[in-house]
Structure 1
Amino acid sequence: MDWASIIEGLAAPDYEFGRQALQRGIAAVYLIAFVSTANQFPVLLGDRGLLPAPQLLRHPALLRGPTLFRWRYSDALLRAVSWTGAAIALVIVLGLPQLGPPWVPLLAFLVIWLLYMSIVNIGQTFYGFGWESLLLEAGFLAAFLGSNEVPPAWPVLLLFWWLVFRLEFGAGMIKMRGGSEWRDFTALYYHHETQPMPNPVSRYAHLLPKRIHRLEVVGNHFAQLVVPFFLFVPGPVGTLAAAVVIVTQGWLVVSGNFAWLNWITIVLAFSAVSDSVVHAVLPVVPLDQGTGEASMPPWWAAIGIVLTVFYLILSWPALKNLFSRNQLMNASFNTWSLANAYGAFGTVTKERYEIVIEGTLAADPAEGDWLEYEFKGKPGDVRRTPGQYAPYHLRLDWLMWFLALGSPGERWFLPLLVRLLEADKPTLKLLRRDPFGGQPPSWVRAKIYLYRFSTREEKRTTGDVWVREELGLFRAPVSLRA
């Protein structure tokens, strides 16, 4: 077999629809991530942030990996990096780099990958989520999908299938090794109510009959433990497997706010969707999308082969982790956040705790009228229906959920209280409501409550979406002077 035949065999012209969905979808998530960073990073991690990045950068040994900010950080530079990344991502969403030779989208994706990695690696706990590594890995692989001038390459599609497999099968295995609620099919009795950030549908999902919740768990196990193996079968079988992933992830999109985790999983699943199956189901989608007769340059084929070999070697720790009794969840095995381990909700919280921050203008905290601060996403006011924010990521709201579960938070929570005492405008913009209209309170404190969704009868009687029970003080009253 000569080199020309090998190159021809590497072409996958039946996956042009999937390639377009991958490139534009991944870039769209990058766009959201960069905008989220521009809006929130300076307040959370900037020069006057709750966990200032400049302090971290004074200790390079503590950095998670490479970052452009190693030599210099400023809020202005952070914003410049974020908006530059957002602009490049938008151009990819519009499909402009894909109109040129394959090295143009290659360069565009590698730039936004490096820019976002620079942010994540100084983001500390506010960027410690598994979907940050997932986005980085997806962006790196997307760089090798090529342009409209060349057909998609089998080796690169294989790496995307391997990514979806690790993501789904890893999540399934972490559940089977985790809490017994996944093995006795009761996990969904609690999950819709106790998930980090419910959305408008979450209460209705929670109130479904328990037999439906058990079926949800069965469906989850099937989608995550069985279906991923079929992604590696090209054609209708792989497309059907991708459809199962898309539908199950779509239900999670409808019933909760998990930032962009489910959204990007849906996008990645399109890597296994073939044009011929799409055309058979939706004839409006053309079968020949312009690359069927296109040839693959030898240099581009060589890049794909080298990438695949390199990536499979890099994947060995992640493969071992999948079958390890001590399976790691959301772990990176190298500083570049490639070939990672994934997984979520190995155990399901059975009760929902919420920390509510209050303030008072009174000089004496014992005599004050205490008013509550409202966050955008996390529950507070019992009459307020949770909003829909995903795929936008409300980072402070997420950490408030972890804090209520016992996650250490003194390094950022006390600075948050200080910013509220100062009535710091950028910090207040991260909240839904400041009860003092910009006036600094004299004291702030934090209480902890037990929350649950109201029943249908309770909702009809009181109008409340939540029922809560005060459990005590989480943080005693503090003032700037005290």
Structure 2
Amino acid sequence: MDWFNADGYWLGRLLFTEGLAAIYLTAFLVAVNQFRALIGSNGMLPIPDYLAAASFRRSPSLFHLHYSDRFFAAVAWTGAGLAALTVLGVTARLPLPATMLVWFAMWLFYLSIVNVGQVWYGFGWESLLLEVGFLAVFLGNADTAPPVAVLLLLRWLLFRLEFGAGMIKIRGDSCWRDLTCLYYHHETQPMPGPLSWYFHGLPRPLHRAEVAGNHLAQLVMPFGLFAPQPVAAIAAGVMIVTQLWLVASGNFAWLNWLALVLAVSVLPDSVLGAVLPIGPPAESGPTPPAFVAVVIAVTALVLVLSYWPARNLASHSQLMNASFNSWHLVNTYGAFGHVTRIRYEVVVEGTEATRITPDAVWREYEFKGKPGDIRRRPRQFAPYHLRLDWLMWFAAISPGYARGWFVAFAEKLLQNDAATLALLRHNPFAQSPPTFVRARLFRYRFSTRQEHHDSGVWWHRTPVSDYLPPIRLAVRPAGGGANEG
């Protein structure tokens, strides 16, 4: 089976599968911790309402068979448990069919969550995790060498991820072409990290070098992935360095971490063995003919489904982060085709006043990740994904992104809903819920070095406009709630 097996990539597969399992674990824990407020039966966008309008063909999911919050939690916890066992190395030591079954179960459980997650799960890294997770089903176990075909499919995926992101930039915002996008990006990205303020303060020539380095990593190096070693390893190494730079400069959930584990799968044992204290097994066991047949069939399927993403890459109207099938098997990727120059933030406030007057005292809700308190330094959360905080960034760009959930969010605050408040850093109304809740739009910018030195602030903000007028819960004789402006 010399043509089928890649004996020189044992360590790359090990690091890839362990890293992917850790990301799966993170994703399932995010689902466990956040689903009740976002998509639970009493959430902002309830899954039962969505299932009533969506067919299985449109959004294949186990939850079409049955849904309850308890069942959702069971699916997410089971996925987390399987991922934890895989991180510990248990899955790889199982018989080959059992190993494949565990990886398939993780993929199926997460697919079921994504396909009912609605806008909360509309990010490119959801499809990326599903596509990577599907290919991982066919990488074999500790007793079999990794299949050459699957390793090449992983490179094809990494190529589409990087090259797609590069092309969407070149075709999109002119600041990518004149190398000025990083003048703004560190400040206006969805969720800055603890080092973003420092990155933003770098001299402009270094910002231009950042953009040039990004173009090298995304537009040139992807072609090296299909070259012989060590060229492929060098290309993957450049991508790894670039992704680590992105990890340090912002919070992009598990997007960068997935790109990292994909790039690691390109590195041969001759490279990894020089820096790791472990070595590959002496020899692999026989490869079952049925496994060979399944891998060949899956490879053919992926190649057929690759037609649409490949055509999209060549299109001047390139789509960014799109799935061409409801199973998220082969997708197209891209990021920041447009870079915002000004940062806006929606600030949510409540008051205990019974009437809205100029004397009403408004207290601000604090989010875990998104900017709020100007004296609070941004935190590091990635690869953990704060879904509400990310949607608040989109909501600040345009109220259209908040349609369908923002008023429901405000109503949950008026009720002091425990699941919703668990998504926030601080509830200023711990004793009793507010009477009114409102939202205002502010312009934020990073403080200058002098401003930070003088006052300790990380941000400077100025009010722009009202975003949501004050609302309260209407009292009805029979109970229940509705809002009134």
TM-score by length of 2: 0.96
Q: Does 2:147 correspond to 1:153?
A: yes
Q: Give the superposition deviation at 1:285.
A: 4.0
Deviations 1:398-439 (A, max 9, x none): 000000000431310001110111111111111000112241
**Matches of 1:104 and 1:389 in 2, distance apart?**
33
Q: Does 2:283 correspond to 1:292?
A: yes
* One-letter amino acid of the structure 2 residue matched with residue 114 of structure 1: L
- Corresponding position of 1:353: 344
Q: 1:466 to 1:57 in 2, by over 3 A?
A: same
- Corresponding position of 1:444: 437
* One-letter amino acid of the structure 1 residue matched with residue 288 of structure 2: P
CA contact (8 A) 1:451 1:469 kept: yes
Q: 1:211 to 1:62 in 2, by over 3 A?
A: farther
Q: 1:31 to 1:197 in 2, by over 3 A?
A: same
Q: 1:36 to 1:225 in 2, by over 3 A?
A: same
* One-letter amino acid of the structure 1 residue matched with residue 22 of structure 2: A
Q: Give the superposition deviation at 1:462.
A: 1.2
- Corresponding position of 1:263: 257
Give the root-mean-square deviation of aligned CA atoms.
Answer: 1.2
**Matches of 2:340 and 2:448 in 1, distance apart?**
19
SS in 2 for 1:476: strand
Q: Give the superposition deviation at 1:460.
A: 0.7
- Corresponding position of 1:4: none
Q: Does 2:321 correspond to 1:344?
A: no
SS in 2 for 1:302: helix
SS in 1 for 2:473: coil
SS in 2 for 1:469: strand
- Corresponding position of 1:422: 415
Q: 1:56 to 1:291 in 2, by over 3 A?
A: farther
**Matches of 2:35 and 2:284 in 1, distance apart?**
46
Q: Does 2:287 correspond to 1:329?
A: no
- Corresponding position of 2:70: 76
Q: 1:120 to 1:64 in 2, by over 3 A?
A: farther
- Corresponding position of 2:460: 467
Q: Give the superposition deviation at 1:271.
A: 1.3
- Corresponding position of 2:372: 380
Deviations 1:75-131 (A, max 9, x none): 111100000000011111111121133222211111010011001000000000000
- Corresponding position of 1:222: 216
* 1:408 counterpart (395, 398, 401): 401
SS in 1 for 2:468: strand
- Corresponding position of 1:122: 116
Q: 1:167 to 1:16 in 2, by over 3 A?
A: same
SS in 2 for 1:41: helix
**Matches of 1:237 and 1:336 in 2, distance apart?**
33
Out of 437-446 and 162-171, give the one that drifted further: 437-446
**Matches of 1:330 and 1:348 in 2, distance apart?**
16
CA contact (8 A) 1:57 1:63 kept: no
- Corresponding position of 1:65: 59
Q: 1:64 to 1:208 in 2, by over 3 A?
A: farther
* One-letter amino acid of the structure 2 residue matched with residue 314 of structure 1: L
* One-letter amino acid of the structure 2 residue matched with residue 368 of structure 1: A
* 1:171 counterpart (165, 170, 173): 165
**Matches of 1:240 and 1:389 in 2, distance apart?**
29
Q: 1:227 to 1:166 in 2, by over 3 A?
A: same
* One-letter amino acid of the structure 1 residue matched with residue 163 of structure 2: F
* 1:93 counterpart (87, 90, 96): 87
TM-score by length of 1: 0.96
- Corresponding position of 1:134: 128
- Corresponding position of 2:40: 46
**Matches of 1:265 and 1:271 in 2, distance apart?**
10
Out of 295-304 and 463-472, give the one that drifted further: 295-304
**Matches of 2:11 and 2:199 in 1, distance apart?**
33
After TM superposition, list the pairs within 5 Å mapping 1:296-307 onto structure 2: 296-307=287-298
Gaps of 5+ in 1: 1-6
**Matches of 2:369 and 2:337 in 1, distance apart?**
23
Gaps of 5+ in 2: 475-483
- Corresponding position of 1:362: 353
* 1:104 counterpart (93, 98, 102): 98
CA contact (8 A) 2:56 2:64 kept: no
**Percent identity of equivalent pairs:** 52
**Matches of 2:125 and 2:356 in 1, distance apart?**
41
**Matches of 1:283 and 1:35 in 2, distance apart?**
29
**Matches of 1:344 and 1:19 in 2, distance apart?**
27
CA contact (8 A) 2:17 2:136 kept: yes
Q: Give the superposition deviation at 1:294.
A: 3.5
Deviations 1:189-242 (A, max 9, x none): 000000000010000000000000000000000000000111112421111111
* One-letter amino acid of the structure 2 residue matched with residue 354 of structure 1: E
SS in 2 for 1:144: coil
